Chain A
Amino acid sequence: MIRQSERKIVNIWEGLKYACILAVLVFIGSLLLGEASSNASIEEVESAVTATMDLSGMEKASNRMMKRLYGLNANDYEGAVLYISTFNMDVEELLIVKVKDISQTETVSAAAESRKETQLTNFDGYGVEQCQLLNDSILNVRGNYIFFVVSPNAKEAEKAFLGSL
């Protein structure tokens, strides 16, 4: 009698154990696959993000500007928008890129990183607020979207970005 109930418990343990293994496999799978690509259009994401930001001191930059500042060719991507400060001594920027192919994400995020580095050296020792903004900048890669923002509202903008995907 006792034997049997014990046996039952062992079976439960075993079941739990396999559930654990299954869970960890799912966990690893989700890590490997990363975030699923988003179908949201770049315009939707752009309008969601810009709604959270004060754009009075910023303007939408041309593709040429994107090429110069980030070395990115807008036509290589499904969609890419860049906002920069109208005033040259401001560092506020917003870059949203939707890639055609996940393999492009690395190039884009590296470009954003190096843009940040360049700006940091440019303002190092001169612009205290600028350096602070740059240090607080957010770079987020979510599936097929790359998001880079330098702004006092960076956190809200990021939330809007994540919400819009």
Chain B
Amino acid sequence: MENRRRTQYREKNIRYAERKEKRRRRIRKKMKKQYILSALLLLLTLSVVVIANGIKQDSEFSPTENRMLTQKPEMDWTTIQDGSFMTDYESYVSDQFIGRDWWISLKLSVDRLLGKKESNGVYLGKQQYLMEVLSTPDEVNLERNLNAVLEFQKKHSDLNFFFTLIPNAAYILTDFMPDNAPVRDQEEDIQRVKEKLGSAVTFLDVTETMRAYRREGIYYKTDHHWTSRGAYEAFQAMASGLLIENPATEYDIYPVTDQFSGTLASKSGYRKAKDTIEIYIPLGVTNEYVVYYPDEQKKTASLYDSESLNQKDQYEVFLGGNHAMVDITTTCEDNRCLLLFKDSYANAFIQFLTPYFREIIMIDPRYYYEDIENIISSRNVTDILFLYNANTFFEDNSLADVLISELDETVEETESSEQQTQETDAETETQTEQETVQTETTE
């Protein structure tokens, strides 16, 4: 009896151990299978990709990313020594990687799935709105630019000075922003500019107007610019401030493309949405003009460059993009001549101004290096307008140079110091400027 129970017990134990051993063996077998399959998977993937990359022809340009792709770098001793060959080669491999665009869109879909609300400095808003993250003002340059504007105004106090900053989509389109997304209070920044400029410069504040029309498509979904509609609303709000009597209210509106995919689409990689670009032709006013591009020495009778519609950045339909200087002469009877310091927002705005000025000279300080005083004296400038979008203006470091560099000897600056620190840059600049001007005249 006792014995039997013991053997039964032992048998049970053995059976249990056997089962356990079997299980262990099964797991080991499965593990081995997993390992071998994984190895084959890796080897297969690597060979397929390597072969595919080898067969694929290198391309020069990526239309989706809107940039030139890195080409195979040449190997030589100097580039190897300083490591530039290696970095170039790495970016060459990843730029020319097989199916690059597909990989990028795969990554973006996963990001989206994980609830990411930002991609490469672009907010992924509601209803497919893309909005650029707002810039934090570069205080040093901002101060310098505004001082330059004031200085410039003092020098030309006989002219009308206007200044406007267009707030950006991320600030205005609160309805379309991702929930809780941190947004800088641009209105506060704009108010600060307004206060700083004081009364000598007429500040045209369009923040309220833009906010009122925020649901009317005043910004592109895929681009960082405002639409013609946005420019139109701003113009209506600004017209009286700009001393324009009876601005046109009737316009013919022509959509020129409905396939616009702008810079934000490129930057973020989200390119589902498409925008429509419209142009506005005022009715009931004489609106004839010649547009002259001094750099290209080209004259046209249109503000619009239809060729641009065949290329990637269709916003360039306005004036064919950015130029250092554009000179527009019109048949307007009013004898006003406008000097416009601007960024690319003005390109879509100019279509509203042509009926009211005899001449409009657009200067983009980022690219303009000539003497601004010559223009003022030779062209009979009567009005000066600064038109920027807030984001660009708060980061700009070129306006002061254009305005101030030609200020003559009458500007008095204190102290001559050899040391240049960033803060005193503006001062030392005019200082040395004077010196060079003097030495040049004595030569």
Binding site for B on A (CB under 8 A): 62-65, 67-69, 71, 73, 84, 87-89, 118, 121-122, 125-126, 128-129, 131-132, 155, 158-159, 162
Determine whether B27 belongs to the interface, using a CB cutoff of 8 Å to chain A.
no
Tell which of B112-120, B276-284, B429-437 binds the partner: B429-437
Interface majority SS (helix, strand, loop, mixed), chain B: loop
- CB of A17, distance to nearest CB on chain B (Å): 28
Tell me how far the C-beta of B214 lies from the nearest C-beta in chain A, rounded to whole angstroms: 23
Residues of A within 8 A of B321 (CB): 126
Tell me if B295 and A89 are in contact (CB < 8 A). yes
The chain B residue sitting closest to A162, CB to CB, is B78
> B295 to A128, Cβ gap below 8 A?
no
A residues in contact with B366, CB < 8 Å: 122
Residues on B with C-beta less than 8 A from A68 are 369, 401, 405
Task: Beyond A73-B420, A155-B74, A162-B78, list 9 extra A-B contacts (CB 8 Å).
Answer: A64-B433, A68-B401, A71-B420, A88-B323, A88-B369, A118-B398, A125-B266, A126-B322, A131-B68
Contact of A67 among B74, B267, B295, B429 (CB under 8 A): B429
B367 at the interface (CB under 8 A from A): yes
Total A-B pairs, Cβ < 8 A: 66
Q: Does B330 contact A (CB under 8 A)?
A: no
Closest CB of chain A to B168's CB: distance in Å? 14
Query: Pick the contact of B224 from A84, A125, A129, A132 — CB < 8 Å?
Result: A125
A126 and B67 form a contact (CB under 8 A): no
Partner of A129, one of B68, B316, B432: B68
Contacting pair B324 A89 (CB below 8 A): yes
Given contacts A73-B432, A89-B322, A131-B67, contact A126 B367 (CB under 8 A): no
Contact at A128–B67, with CB atoms within 8 Å? yes
Cα A64 to Cα B397 with chains together (Å): 17
B344 touches A126 (CB 8 A): yes
Contact A67 B367 (CB under 8 A): no
B263 interface residue (CB < 8 Å to A): yes
Chain B interface size, under 10 / 10 to 19 / 20 to 34 / 35 or more: 35 or more
Write the nearest CB–CB distance from A140 to chain B, whole angstroms: 8
Residues of chain A lying within 8 A (CB to CB) of residue B313: 125-126
Residues of A within 8 A of B425 (CB): 71
Contact between A118 and B397, CB atoms less than 8 A apart: yes
The 6 nearest A-B residue pairs measured at CB: A88-B324, A132-B68, A125-B263, A122-B366, A88-B367, A68-B401
Question: Min CB distance, B43 to chain A, in Å?
Answer: 36
B436 touches A64 (CB 8 A): yes
* B417-443 interface with A by 8 A CB criterion: 420, 425, 429, 432-433, 436-437
Contacts of B397 on A, CB cut-off 8 Å? 118
* Closest B residue to A88 using CB positions: B324
Q: In the complex, A73→B79 CA distance in Å? A: 31
Residues of A within 8 A of B429 (CB): 67, 71
B435 to chain A, nearest CB (A): 9
Complex: A159 Cα to B324 Cα, angstroms:
33
Give the Cβ gap from A111 to chain B, nearest Cβ, in Å. 10
User: From residue A87, how far is it (CB to closest CB) to chain B in Å?
Assistant: 6
Report Cα–Cα, A128/B425, bound state, in Å. Answer: 31
Given A68-B401, A71-B420, A71-B425, A87 contacting B295 (CB threshold 8 A):
yes
A90 CB to nearest chain B CB (Å):
9
